Chains A and B, each alone.
Chain A
Amino acid sequence: MPKRPAQNSIRPWAVAFWLLVWQGASMLFATLWPNGHLLLASPVSAALRLGELAVTAGFWRAIGWSALRIIGGFLLSCCAASLLAVPASRWRWVRELLSPLVATVKAVPVASFIILALVWLDSRSLSCFIAFLMVFPPVYLGVLEGIRQTDGKLLEMARVFRVPLGRQVRGIYLPAVLPHFRTAVSLGLGLCWKAGIAAEVIGLPGGSLGERLYSAKVYFQTPDLFAWTAVIVAVSVVFEKLFLALVDALAGKAGC
């Protein structure tokens, strides 16, 4: 039986269609106004500009600069959220203590946090901090839910047979938590890149992807704007795929 595409899968023909629409709109703008090509750069000019940028050292430095901070914030947040979910699952007061914090981070607009954080931190640490904040609630709540759904009967069995904690974690907790962790991380990865780059655009730390994006806007270099946007999307997608593959490999090893 032929494999049916997933409901939200991206089909090449649909991508080609929208690229053509983009190209058409760009050509229309260029025809209607003298500097119309500046209002909407064509996909071809964006791709050509991306090619030019990709051979420069500054391009890779900017990617490295932002990726280091955003991925660093993401990883730190995953560790902190997972570690805090453990006592929160055990003691109600820890859960209650963290609950307003998590609710606040979820409810407050990211721009407010960015501006507030700019008061406390220098712009170079901003994207790391914002990525940390964005990832914390979904990962904390996901891991907490996973621990709470761990089969209590299996834990009793392990207790009777005096199975050491390390083995209980690998055999009972990990298979219960990893599916929740994966869902949370998938959500958090998208959020942390969007919010991290937004923080860089506002904070303008030198050498970051956000700064390049902002400069492109200021100097009306729309091909650059699209090229840098494509780079940000590509880097976030590649990291998401790599990290989720790592989680899946871990889940496979745990037998999930």
Chain B
Amino acid sequence: MELQVHNLCKSYGGETVLRDVSFTAGPGVTCLMAPSGAGKTTLLRILLGLETADSGTVRIPADCRWAAVFQEDRLLEQLDAMGNLRFVLGKDFRETAASALLGELGLGDVGNKPVRDFSGGMKRRLALARALLAPSDILVLDEPFTGLDGENRARALACVRRAAEKPVLLVTHDEADAADLDAVLLRL
């Protein structure tokens, strides 16, 4: 599986957000780094099919499945952690795998607690668990380690590293994340 992006352009109301962005991402972590407002999130939204580019092409197989951690957690607040995973995974949900991953991410004892009672860091880790458990060909992670303390960040990094047998697009401000994941750096 390889993701190929060629000369992607996007502007909003005359303001150019992306100008001729081209890159190729194969298996492993590709780290997108750029200052705030440089269009990282817009690029991810185009790749996920949530926005259309003004010009340029994105080459991926037609049946490519995506999984993502968005800039916001986008969790169903009324459900518990397991409910959120079940909502996305449907028939692919496996309680044992879900419990194991939640445990690895330090959420082992809160699986049945409503998400509305979670702290910011717990929500972030659950959003990451959801993306890691969903069957996917490409993983998109928009600042997945935001709000995590040292220990939880290390746990999350370990899980992402394991998922890097497929293409992982990681947006981060922290070069240490890229270094810890042996990521290919891509500066927009």
Do chains A and B interact in one complex? Answer: yes
Residue numbers of A with Cβ under 8 A of B are 153-154, 156-164, 167, 171-172, 175, 254-256
- B7: interface (CB < 8 Å): no
Q: Which of B56-112 contact A (CB under 8 A)?
A: 65-68, 70, 72, 74, 76, 78-79, 83, 87-88, 90
Interface centre among A157, A167, A175 (most CB of B within 10 A): A157
Contact code string B151-168 (vs A, CB < 8 Å = 1, else 0): 000000000000000000
- Tell me the bound Cα distance from A154 to B130 in angstroms: 13
Find out whether the CB atom of A255 lies under 8 angstroms from the CB atom of B50: no
Find out whether the CB atom of B134 lies under 8 angstroms from the CB atom of A161: yes
Nearest A residue to B83, CB-CB: A255
Find out whether the CB atom of A255 lies under 8 angstroms from the CB atom of B134: no
- B48: interface (CB < 8 Å): yes
Find out whether the CB atom of A162 lies under 8 angstroms from the CB atom of B65: yes
Residue from the list A156, A160, A167, A256 in contact with B78, Cβ < 8 A? A256
Nearest A residue to B131, CB-CB: A161
- Shortest C-beta distance, B82 to chain A (Å), equals 12
Residue from the list A153, A163, A256 in contact with B90, Cβ < 8 A? A163
- Shortest C-beta distance, B59 to chain A (Å), equals 19
Q: Given known contacts A153-B72, A256-B78, is B83 in contact with A160 (CB within 8 Å)?
A: no
Find out whether the CB atom of B67 lies under 8 angstroms from the CB atom of A161: yes
Q: Given known contacts A160-B50, A160-B68, is B87 in contact with A167 (CB within 8 Å)?
A: yes
- Tell me the bound Cα distance from A158 to B130 in angstroms: 12
Number of residue pairs A-B, CB distance < 8 angstroms: 47
Q: Given known contacts A160-B50, A161-B88, A171-B87, is B66 in contact with A154 (CB within 8 Å)?
A: no
- Tell me the bound Cα distance from A203 to B50 in angstroms: 56
What are 14 contact pairs spanning A and B, CB under 8 A?
A: A154-B74, A157-B68, A157-B70, A158-B88, A159-B50, A160-B49, A160-B50, A160-B66, A161-B67, A163-B90, A171-B76, A172-B76, A255-B79, A256-B78
Find out whether the CB atom of B70 lies under 8 angstroms from the CB atom of A153: yes
- Tell me the bound Cα distance from A146 to B17 in angstroms: 33
Interface centre among B65, B66, B74 (most CB of A within 10 A): B74
Residue from the list A163, A175, A255 in contact with B88, Cβ < 8 A? A163
Residue from the list B70, B90, B114 in contact with A164, Cβ < 8 A? B90
Find out whether the CB atom of A157 lies under 8 angstroms from the CB atom of B74: yes
- Tell me the bound Cα distance from A152 to B8 in angstroms: 25
Q: Given known contacts A153-B72, A161-B134, is B87 in contact with A175 (CB within 8 Å)?
A: no
Nearest B residue to A175, CB-CB: B78
Find out whether the CB atom of A156 lies under 8 angstroms from the CB atom of B50: yes
Given contacts A153-B72, A164-B90, could you give 4 more A-B pairs where the C-beta distance is less than 8 Å? A160-B67, A161-B67, A161-B68, A171-B79
Contacts of A254 in B (CB 8 A): 78
Find out whether the CB atom of B134 lies under 8 angstroms from the CB atom of A154: no
- Shortest C-beta distance, B133 to chain A (Å), equals 10
Contacts of B78 in A (CB 8 A): 175, 254-256
Contacts of B88 in A (CB 8 A): 157-158, 161, 163
- Shortest C-beta distance, B131 to chain A (Å), equals 9
Contacts of A256 in B (CB 8 A): 78
- Shortest C-beta distance, A63 to chain B (Å), equals 38
Nearest A residue to B74, CB-CB: A157
- Shortest C-beta distance, A161 to chain B (Å), equals 5
Contacts of B134 in A (CB 8 A): 161
Find out whether the CB atom of A153 lies under 8 angstroms from the CB atom of B74: yes
- Tell me the bound Cα distance from A254 to B79 in angstroms: 9
Nearest B residue to A174, CB-CB: B78
Q: Given known contacts A161-B134, A163-B88, A255-B83, is B76 in contact with A154 (CB within 8 Å)?
A: yes
Nearest A residue to B136, CB-CB: A161
Contacts of B66 in A (CB 8 A): 160-161
Interface centre among A158, A162, A167 (most CB of B within 10 A): A162
